[in-house]
Each structure stands twice: as structure tokens, then as C-alpha cells.
Amino acid sequence: MPRILLIDDDAAVRSAISLILDQEGHAVIAAEDGQAGLDLARATSFDIAIVDMYMPGLDGLETIARLRAMVPALPIIATSGAVGRSPSGGASDVLTAATERGAAMVIHKPFRPRELLQAISNCLDGTPEQSPP
């Protein structure tokens, strides 16, 4: 059973994603912000991480960069419903910036459950493909 670290500041999004993944047999551990997610990643191992880009405190781009430094082989899926200036400055599209920081895949919110499940499957199989914008 794959262990998935889910980092998103929106409780409803965390609940919805957790439910979808639980039903598919994944073990999901959720964190409400980047720092909590990093703390979980230090305490246990995961097969994949799903990281929201816009969060208070430690944003998704910095969270991805730190996860990548801690666990270089961890596949990371970046998610965001916003397209625009990245929270840390720089690239005009936050999901493009996420791939530059080390995300294996990106998914635009809102996404369908099958899109998320396919992205997870691709990452776990070692064949990530970028989802269309």
C-alpha cells in the first residue's frame, strides 16, 4: 500500500483527496501546511508527496525544494488552482516553477479523481508525464 504525504492548507481539499486515495487503497497522511509536511517527512518515509502551492507560512515552492533536499528520490505532485505569479516570486506560472524546483508532475485544480490517480500511478511507476494545462 503506497504511503502518500498530502500537504494542503484547505481542510476540505485534504478531506476530499484523502477520501479518494483511501478508497483506492493508499495510506494518506495529511499536513495542513508546508512545515507540518516537512516534519512528517522527517519522521516517516513516503512513496509520494502531493503539495499545494499556495499556503500560508512555508509556500509550496519552498516546501518542494526542502522535500527534494531531504528525500531526493521522492516523487512530488504539485497542485494549484491559481495561475499567476508564484508565491516566492520568479516564474509567472507557479506550476512551471514547481517543476523547476523538483516536482515530477503538476495538476491544475480543480481536477478529476482519475487525473490524480493517474498522476500517482505514473509517479509510482517511474513514468511521470506532465498533465495538460
Digit-coded pLDDT (tens) for 41-84: 999 999 999 999 999 999 999 999 999 999 999 999 999 887 55
Regarding pTM above 0.85, the answer is: yes
* 59: exposed, middle or buried (Cβ count in 10 Å: 0-12, 13-18, 19+): buried
Counted domains in the chain:
1
Domain that holds residue 51: 3-125
Quick check: is 131 in a domain? Answer: no
3-state secondary structure of 82: coil
Quick check: is 14 in a domain? Answer: yes
Quick check: is 34 in a domain? Answer: yes
